Structure 1
Amino acid sequence: MKPATVATLLLCFLLVVLTRSAPLSSAPPAALQAAAERAKTLVEKILRDVPAVYEAAVTMQGLTLDPPSQTSDLQMMVSSLGIPPAPVLKPPSETFTLAVCVTRMSAGCQLYQGLLGDLSERLSGLSDLRADLRDLHTHINKMKEAAHLVGVGEGQSVDLASRLHGNYEVQVAAHLTLTQLRSFCHDLVRSLRAVAAYQLPGNR
C-alpha cells in the first residue's frame, strides 16, 4: 500500500475517533446564558421595587395594586390614554422563535421606559425604575448580540404626555403603567429562564 494511501486512511480514522469522542453541545451559548441571567436578576429587582413605587406615586382613592383595580372606567381610560398592552411573551419554541421572544422583550422595555419618562414629568419617584428598565434593555441587546439577532425590530413609542391633561389622567396612567409593567415583568422572568436554557440550532 502506498504511503499516501496509508496516511489518508490514518487521517480518516483519527477524524472518526475524534468525532465520536467529542461531547455533544447541549448547553446554551455562554454569552446568551449570562446575559439572560443578568437580565432576570434585574427584572426580579424591578418586581420588588414596583409596590413601593406604586404606593408613592398612586394616591387616588380606589386605585390599588393588589388586587389590581379593574373597572369599566379604567378600561375606557386605557383607550383614551393610548396605552398599548404589553407585548405577549412566551418561552422560545419552533412557533415562537428566539428572535420574536427577544424582540418583544426589547419592545416592552422601551414601551415602559417611555411611559415612565412621560409620567416622570408629573410625578416623582419613577426615575430609578426607569433607569433599571434602561439597564435591562442593555442586557437584552447583549442577548441579541450573543444569539446573532442584530437588526431585529424595536418597539413603538407612545406619546402619553400630550394626554395627561389633569391629575386624574396622571393617576390612572401611573396605575395602568405600573400594573402592566409588573405583569410584563412576571412574563419576562419566565421567558428569560427559558432563554437561559435555550439551545441555538447550531448547538443542538
Structure 2
Amino acid sequence: MQAGAQAAVLPVSRRTLHDEVVGRIRDMIIEGHLPTGSRIHEGQLGARLGISRTPLREALKFLASEGLIDLVPGRGAVVRTLTRVDVRDLLEVLTALESSAGRSACARASEAEIAGVRRLHDAMMEFYARRDRLEYYKLNQAIHSAIAALSGNAYLAQVHETIQQRLRRIRFLGNQGPEKWSAAVAEHEAMIAALEARDGEALATVLTEHLRRTWDRVIDVVEP
C-alpha cells in the first residue's frame, strides 16, 4: 500500500487497549498511512479503530512523548515532520552513541546476551525472507536497542532510545526498494558477526558505516 493511502484497520481488542492503540497508530505513522505533517482527525481515527476519544487521546499523548506526534494548540495532533537537518543531526548523534555502544557491548556482554541478539537477528532474517517489511523493521530496531543496552551504560541506552523513537518513520523509509533493503541486511549480517566475535572496533566501524548509509538511503525522501 502506498504511503498516505488508508489502511484497512480492524477494531482493537479491549483487553490491552492502550498498548494496542499506541501500537496501531505508531504502525500507521511508520508505514505512512498517517502522512507526516497531516492533522489527525480524532473522530475519523477513533471510528476506524473502534474506540472512543478518551483512549485515543491518551495514545496520542504517549506518541507525542516519543516524538512521532506534535500536539498543536488549535489544531490538535499533527504527525511530526523532520527536516533534512533534523535527520542529519539525529543520525550524527546516533552514530556516536552506537559506535561507543558497540565497543562496550563486545567487552561487557555475556554469552547469553549476545545469543539473545543473535535470536533477534535470525527472526529478523525470517521476516526479510517473507518480505514482511514492517515486522522486519521492528526487529531491526530492536537489535539496535539491544546493542545500546548491552553497552552497560543506562544513560547511553536512554538517549539512544529517545533518538531512535523520533527516527522511526525515517528509518523505515531506508529499506524502501529491494537494493536498499538488501544492502541494509548485509550490514546487519556484518554487525552480528562482529558482535559474536567480540570485535569492538569492527562492530563500531560497521555501525558507523550502517548509519552513514542510512543517511544516503533516506536523503531523497526527507523534507528539505
For the aligned pair, the TM-score class normalised by the smaller chain equals: 0.3 to 0.5
Q: TM-score, with normalisation over the residues of structure 1?
A: 0.36
Q: TM-score, with normalisation over the residues of structure 2?
A: 0.33
Larger radius of gyration: 1
Structure possessing the higher relative contact order (Cα contacts under 8 Å, 6 or more residues apart): 1
Structure having the larger proportion of residues in helix? 2
